Amino acid sequence: MGRLAQTEGLTEIQQDILSTVRSFVDKEIIPVATELEHRDEYPADIVEGMKEMGLFGLMIPEEYGGLGESLLTYALVVEEIARGWMSVSGIVNTHFIVAYMINAHGTQEQKDYFLPRMATGEVRGAFSMSEPGLGSDVAAISTKAVKDESGEFYVLNGQKMWLTNGGTSTVIACLVKTDEGASSPYKNLTTFLIEKTPGFGPNESVPGLTVPGKIDKMGYKGVDTTELVLQDVKMPSNRILGGVPGRGFYQMMDGVEVGRVNVAARGCGVAQRAFELGIRYAQQRQTFGKKIAEHQAIQFKLAEMATKVEAAHQMMVMAARKKDSGQRNDLEAGMAKYLASEYCKEVVEDSFRIHGGYGFSKEYEIERLYREAPMLLIGEGTAEIQKMIVGRRLLEEYKLAE
């Protein structure tokens, strides 16, 4: 292992976890990732291996059967997994956003019911905020939940979009509009915890809920990305996250901060792998009588790539540590997500260029990375959204005295 993207101040437990995950990635993920990705096949054996290692319970408190680790540990684990195959990191990401939201905002009954089974991977989560016409405007959510005549149930109707783990998940944190009579649209949103059976089509256990087949994507294959259709889906009021309606937006944004650190970690992992592939190929390929790594132009590229890998990693670590400290981290998470995703795209493209014509061949791993990197530019908010968040926070921090 090279000296790039090292993290200072880790405990022995954190180092042991990362060493175990890195070994798992090198032995169980990297050798099969490209083949599975080309077939768009769900990595069932890899998921079972992660369950055995306890990775689905990494951040879940020990009292619920998890490992009780920090966001930093989780982000570093995601970085390692994404280095092997970004799609696998997506399987744990949405699971952990949901687990984090339940632990941070759920009622005691919800924690006791969901978290122990989420820690083992028996129950796996999906996160549903987006809609077909929504984009980044969360206030424009149109999926509605209306109380029935008894007042004990809500009836949900609408269509959600871009659910990672939509088919394989067994609990969905779903943001919908409820009429709480608040003046702000953000205070009229509620998160429901919808428990379902895995699979596609009409759901066996939830009448009116349908998960259509997987969306066919350019990259980020293997993991299932789906729509969610809700037609007169009846949910009891005790499935409102936290038990109180109208708090959904703030719960989701708290989860998204964790998600942005995760996406930054994924960008770091993919960029590291692209750098590894590029510097290895540069020492194997010969042109004009010498290894291309000996050409100054290639050395310049490698230097730029390594600098971006290192900068993105350190920014991601800072954002995770800020959240772990209990402080607001939307500024740091936004910066980390923006920087890591943009740098990931650039490092992957430079590695692609180093590979020359072979980079265009599906036989080479860099071809897969080249299709995966663009997803990070839009996942958990586009670059423009991150810059808007960062800009607003900077104006708060540096506001002139009146």
Q: Count other Cβ atoms within 10 Å, centred on residue 140.
A: 12
* AA identity, residue 296: Q
Distances (CA, A) of 52 to 45, 100, 162: 11, 20, 28
221, 260 contact by CB (below 8 A):
no
Q: CA torsion 28→379→243→212, rounded to 10°?
A: -80
Q: CA torsion 62→119→269→389, rounded to 10°?
A: -80
77, 58 contact by CB (below 8 A):
yes
The DSSP line for 300-334 is HHHHHHHHHHHHHHHHHHHHHHHHHTTS--HHHHH
118, 99 contact by CB (below 8 A):
yes
Residue 89 falls in which region: left (phi positive, over 0), alpha (psi -120 to 50) or beta: alpha
Return the active site residues: 380
Provide the sign of the torsion angle of the four alpha carbons 54, 55, 58, 61, taken in this order: negative
Q: CA torsion 135→137→140→142, rounded to 10°?
A: 40
Alpha helices by DSSP H, 236-247: none
With H, G, I as helix, E, B as strand and everything else as coil, classify residue 399: coil
The span from the CA of 75 to the CA of 58, in Å, is: 10
| Closest by Cα among 136, 182, 186, 130 to 158 | 130
The span from the CA of 402 to the CA of 225, in Å, is: 49
Exposed, middle or buried by CB within 10 Å (0-12, 13-18, 19+), for 393? middle
CA angle 203, 206, 207 (to 5 degrees): 90
With H, G, I as helix, E, B as strand and everything else as coil, classify residue 209: strand
